């Protein structure tokens, strides 16, 4: 076997490992972004932080005349 063919085989193996690592890194970054978006979406209340307390106060103080 010539040294040139051995070097080519090593280069092909190195490229495959590098491409696989790049693919795993891409999947990891995409998963991290997805988790961040889901956490932000779940942590935000629908109507603001104090709206729940104000709504409960108004609900308890409603009278027959308004």
Residue 34: the pLDDT is 95
Euclidean distance between CA atoms 55 and 61, whole angstroms: 10
Phi–psi pair at 44, nearest 5 degrees: -90, 125
How far are the Cα atoms of 31, 41, 57 from residue 44, in angstroms, in the given order?
20, 6, 22
Question: What integer pLDDT is reported at residue 7 of this predicted model?
Answer: 65
Query: pLDDT at position 60, please?
Result: 78
Each residue's pLDDT tens digit, 32-57: 999 999 988 887 665 555 566 777 77
Q: Residue 48 belongs to what H/E stretch?
A: none
Task: Quickly state the pLDDT bin for 25 (edges 50, 70, 90).
Answer: very high
Q: What pLDDT, on a 0 to 100 scale, did the predictor assign at position 31?
A: 95
Domains of the chain by residue range: 3-60
Which pLDDT does position 29 carry in this prediction? 95
* The residue to which tokens 């495959």 are assigned: 16
């Amino acid at each position: 076997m010539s040294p040139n063919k051995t070097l080519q085989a090593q280069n092909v193996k190195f490229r495959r490992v590098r491409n696989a690592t790049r693919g795993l890194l891409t999947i990891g970054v995409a998963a991290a972004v997805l988790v961040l978006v889901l956490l932000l979406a779940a942590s935000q209340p629908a109507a603001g932080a104090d709206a729940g307390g104000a709504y409960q106060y108004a609900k308890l103080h409603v009278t027959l005349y308004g």
